[in-house]
Structure 1
Amino acid sequence: MTATRTMTKDQVSGRADRRLATDRAEFEAASGRKIKVLVRLDTELQSARIQVGGTLTPENLRALYAVARRTNLLSPGMDILVDLSAARVQGTALEDLKSVARQEHLPRQSDPLHLACRLRVLEPAA
């Protein structure tokens, strides 16, 4: 014989409210580690500017590399300025990005074709 448990409307809505509050808190914590990007291209595809907002971390740096790869595919080897002036940077993300800029190639896991990619980095405002 199976026992059936009934719940009142208040118990159900209380659980739903707690679940929503937990989901919202998790989202807000995660959104503090998200980046927002805007890509601007010149009309001749000689250069691009990737404006980054939000918080750049070593974990979400791969997303920025994906944007840079797609931008670079439009005209391989174009000058791409990564503008971090409106972003917050955590951990080793800035050093990692500068290292990639010096190598003039994106990491192989981000760009399997390993095309030349000329990045310049505009550092965050102090």
Structure 2
Amino acid sequence: MHIDGNAVRIVAQDTRSSFASYDRAILDAARLSVTMMEANALSEVPARDSQIALRTLHESTGHLLSARGSMVKLVGHFNSVKRRSDQAPMNVGCPGETPLSGSLQEDVRTSEAAFD
């Protein structure tokens, strides 16, 4: 089957961008959860109200994780289609870095430098 090479590269880039967006959204939800806990400790919000807010945020984050998991399946399908096409030898790379990657990599370099 014929697939345009430029289309493969564009789909791969948009796929990586989609993963980065999901990862940022999940990271933002985690930060919001921590912020809500800190704000709750400084406030007099009734336990029932804070529980509803935390449960709703948890459910929302779960939906983000499920959507990201669906994207993993989609990448598998894309790869299956590409393997059956004339673009099979093309290597466009899998989605990789997340918003945390840079800071984690920097932490590793910093800790490795401490042992030099």
Q: Per the shorter chain, which TM-score range? A: 0.3 to 0.5
Q: Which has the higher strand share?
A: 1
What TM-score results when the alignment is normalised by the length of structure 1?
0.31
User: Which of the pair has the greater relative contact order for Cα pairs under 8 Å at 6+ separation?
Assistant: 2
What TM-score results when the alignment is normalised by the length of structure 2?
0.33
